[in-house]
Amino acid sequence: MTFRVRYTGGARRDLLRLYEFLLDRDVAAAERALEALRKSTEILEEFPFTCRKADANNPFLRELIVPFGSSGYVVLFEIDDATTVTILAVRHQRDDDYY
């Protein structure tokens, strides 16, 4: 079964914020980071249940760890139903929490 992956407005803003942060420092790194996130989220199309649970009481709220450089990103998502996964937020691993 293949899941459709969609992004909330907040998740899109997170991606833009993270991209702009890197863009000010290193254009090539900003592009590589977006590509790493894009490629990593492809796993959600086939295997969203393989990612770690974000909440022990909610088996459908999960996190995908995306390695990048010496740290990486964390993608918070929810498995909505048998066909849809929604990316709720994206943060850098060194951020305090989701925005």
In the chain, where the domains are located: 4-92
CATH of 4-92, one of 2.40.30.10, 3.30.2310.20, 2.60.40.1930, 3.30.70.270: 3.30.2310.20
Kindly give the parts of the chain with pLDDT less than 70: 98-99
pLDDT of residue 96: 72
The residue count for the chain: 99
Residue 84 and residue 78: Cα distance in Å, rounded?
9
Amino acid at 53: K
| Beta strands at 84-92 and 58-68: parallel, antiparallel or unpaired | unpaired
User: How would you list the strands of the sheet with 84-92, edge to edge?
Assistant: 4-7, 84-92, 71-79, 58-68, 52-55
